Amino acid sequence: MSIRCYKTLSDITAIGFDLDDTLYDNAPVLHRAEQKLREHLAKYFPKTIGMTFQHWFEIRQLVVAKQPALANDVSLTRVKTLTRGLINLGYAQSAATDGAHTAMELFLTWRNTIDIPVETHQTLAKLATKFRLFAISNGNASTTSLNLDQYFEFALHPSINIPMKPAGDLFTLAQHQLALPSDQILYVGDHPIADIIGATNANWQSCWFNPSKSRLNHRRNSLLLPTIEISQLGDLAQLC
């Protein structure tokens, strides 16, 4: 295990984490949740059986086009999309609205049914003995449902009024709750733009979680490089 340094790592008081694809592999989780959602809709709204992913995507695009801020709230966007899609298929407004909320509850149940890797629990538990930990995620995973809130002081998510990373709002809100100088905060995430550029623009230190050891597209711009890079979450234990 190793930590690759691009910049000098200053003293850290708090460490923030992205959730999806940083603390666990989210792709199979979403795939299963989407499948369970399609099965549910087919059972209770059989007219949806012929609906493809592209059909739902186009409806989502239309919904967001009418209210762009919705794009920051993935749960609300999905509910609005499901409602509009069911209405378009001929279901009554009340049935579509109730059905969309019920379907969303089922989706979230499966979306938050995740086997968190042992390494993640071990790493967070060790880091929590020395640092204040928190989470910022653009998604709708629940740290409570995932049994991760035992490690975090708080978890922040975007909403219709709070834009997603890399916008600075969530970073500003987190720093306000921590009441710490920006240079004492390290943020760990897998996304070079949402996580690394977002944290960098907030004047935080940043850690790029890069398990695939891929190239950083903006690595030629030294101002946008992460402070450090890791390929295994357990590498962070070296900070203790």
Question: Token pair for residue 105?
Answer: 């509850």
Question: The tokens 């996580």 sit on which residue?
Answer: 195
Question: The tokens 């020395």 sit on which residue?
Answer: 130
Q: What does residue 4 show for φ and ψ, rounded to 5 degrees?
A: -95, 125
- CA-CA distance, 200 to 162, in Å (whole number)? 19
Comparing C-alpha atoms, which of 190, 185, 191, 217 is closest to residue 204? 185
Is 18 a known active-site residue? Answer: yes
- 132-136/14-17 β-pairing: parallel
- 4-5/228-230 β-pairing: antiparallel
The helix or strand, by DSSP H or E, that contains position 95, with its residue range, turns out to be helix 93-111
- Identify the active-site residue in 11, 18, 169, 235: 18
Residues annotated as part of the active site: 18
